[in-house]
Structure 1
Amino acid sequence: MSKETALITGATGGLGMEFVKIHAQKGGNLVLVGRNPQKLAQLEHDITNKYHVKVMTIAVDFTQFDAAEEIFKKLQETNTQVDYLINNAGLGGQGTFLDRTMEQDINMAKVNMIVPTKLMKLILPQMVKRGKGHVLNVSSSAALIPGPLQAEYYATKAYLTSLSDALWYELKDTGVTVTALMPGAMDTGFAKAGGLTDTKMFANGVSPQKVAEEGYQAMLDGKLNVFAGLTSWQRPFVSLMPMMPKKPTMKFVADQQSNNKKK
């Protein structure tokens, strides 16, 4: 049984909750980060009662610019060492770039890019000093191509994947690893929150449990990228996406992300 502490953002639902269960089953302690204090308290209660591990919760709004600093401050105040950092929280949203508001897109940039970057800036030096640690950044297969009707979301995931890969290389002799998890469409609250439930892309979303299991193991193995939750036809398509002509690829992506009810 392992007592390593995992900090998991977006812990109260979907993929995040699956990561919580996996780590708790292994006997690991947890720092659960989310926006809703009530959901965090309930999750803490459930996990401690079932798995008898130590759980700390931090309620913070990731759209606040100092969210990462607030998390790190609480870690320091409680002398909590983070062995695994799982940057899972993410924000999506359907619509053209011009139709979406400034606030929507800036908030997405904060959640998907700024907070994960800051958390790594704050926590990675401690891992490197100890000579061990793992980071899992939940990106997306969307990182491989431009995404009309989710233009900024695809761009934020491209940033997170690129950053993760470069850090994997920079840290390869330190005992610390950074892995990018790149799942396909999943059956989680993400689609509903982003207004994507009626799109072709999310019509057959996969269960997040298998995605979490594959991502967690890939993190422990120190892998660079891991694709998970893809159907049999999606796997070869995803591997070929970067080499496909951009214009027809973007047409396909736009069609997949159009709201079916509007047709």
Structure 2
Amino acid sequence: MARPVALITGPTSGLGAGFARRYAIDGYDLVLVARDVARLEALAAELHDEAGATVEVLPADLAEATDRAKVADRLSAGVRVLVNNAGFGTSGEFWTADLATLQRQLHVNVTAVMQLTHAALPPMLDAGEGTVINVASVAGLLPGRGSTYSASKAWVVSFTEGLANGLAGTGVGVHALCPGFVHTEFHERAGIEMDGTPSFLWLEVEDVVRDCLADAAKGNVVIVPGVQYKALTTAGRLVPRNLVRRINKTVAKGRGRT
């Protein structure tokens, strides 16, 4: 029998790599989408050797319309799983940030999620099964954790929740993964200083992926890994938003990122 296929964006490090390894171990073939061809090919060879997965490498920059269309075409051919993981943040304040960079951020964090999900769903619905995992962030649930990045992740959460209602009973599930701080390359690439962040706030990639897939199997739509972040997001819904903003400004470093 043909193995199911999972398409994962941003798989060359961090959570994307974690999802790629997990799905390969679970018996999936993969389509890996990222800009760095050398890292894509190295990961593809590793997953083939370790898990026997057939891996298709699809180089693409999701900030570019032509590359998004190329990935959407591949999704239109059908996959069992789509993991919209690609995304990035930037350091500095909104008013000093390069506007073109902020626009690219929205293309990757928002436009690509919408376009790729739109392409993936019709064949999933025809098959009566499929899973879409949209990697959002705790930053999308709590106000005051930066501007455009937080706004983009809040969009992902809202988009996923609304879509889940429409997909109910179809056999296709959609989920928003909202991790907090994870040991990845994210903050270093963004130029965000994380020294002094309490150790209890850090999560590991393998734990986040495991918790995500376990909660997705239960049908949970918004998935927050880690008891510490479950507590923080629950508290954030119960206390006034202006208080949450003040806490994020001082404790969670709500300044210096956009």
Partner of 2:241: 246
**For 2:91, what is the secondary structure of its paired residue?**
coil
Letter in 1 for 2:46: D
- The aligned runs of 1:189-228 (5 Å cut-off) are 189-198=185-194, 200-201=196-197, 204-228=201-225
Whether 2:186 is the aligned partner of 1:187: answer no
For 1:25-73, what per-residue CA distance to the aligned partner results, in whole angstroms no more than 9, with x for missing partners?
1111111111100000101111111111111011111111233211133
Deviation of the 1:250 alpha carbon: 1.2
CA distance in 1, matches of 2:215, 2:3: 19
Q: Please tell me the residue identity of whatever aligns with 1:251.
A: R
Q: Could you give the per-residue CA deviations for residues 228-251 of structure 1, whole angstroms, max 9, x where no partner exists?
A: 1453xx432211213322223212
Give the TM-score, by structure 1 length.
0.89
Relative distance call for 1:165 and 1:186 in structure 2 (3 A) is same
Q: Which amino acid aligns with 1:24?
A: A
Matches within 5 A, 1:1-263: 3-74=3-74, 80-148=77-145, 150-198=146-194, 200-201=196-197, 204-231=201-228, 234-255=229-250, 256-257=252-253
Give % identity: 28
Give the root-mean-square deviation of aligned CA atoms. 2.1
How far did 1:193 drift? Answer: 1.1
Amino acid at match of 2:242: K
User: Structure 1 residues 108 and 201, CA, compared in 2 at 3 Å: closer, same or farther?
Assistant: farther
What SS class does the counterpart of residue 202 from structure 2 fall into? coil
Deviation at 1:182, TM superposition (A): 0.9
1:168 partner SS: helix
- Structure 1 spans left out of the alignment, 5+ residues: none
3-state DSSP of counterpart to 2:220: coil
Report SS of the residue matched to 2:134. Answer: strand
SS across alignment from 1:53: coil
1:46 aligned partner, one-letter code: E
Q: What secondary structure sits across from 1:66 in the alignment? A: helix
**Distance change (3 Å), C-alpha of 1:111 and 1:194:** same
Q: Give, in whole Å, the separation in 2 of the partners of 1:164 and 1:115.
A: 14
Q: Deviations over 1:125-175 (max 9, x none)?
A: 111111111111111111112225x21111111100000011111000211
Contact 2:87 2:109 in 1 (8 A): yes
Q: 1:90 to 1:211 in 2, by over 3 A?
A: same
Verify the 8 A CA contact 2:63 2:107 in the aligned structure 1. Answer: yes
* Aligned equivalents of 2:122, 2:217: Cα separation in 1: 19
In 2: Cα distance, 1:2 partner to 1:20 partner: 18
Instruction: Give the structure-2-normalised TM-score.
Output: 0.91
Question: What residue identity is the alignment partner of 1:246?
Answer: R
Q: Could you tell me whether the CA contact under 8 Å between 2:187 and 2:193 is conserved in 1?
A: yes
In structure 1, how many angstroms separate the alpha carbons of the residues matched to 2:25 and 2:202?
25
Gaps of 5+ in 2: none
Inter-partner Cα distance in structure 2 for 1:136 and 1:144: 17
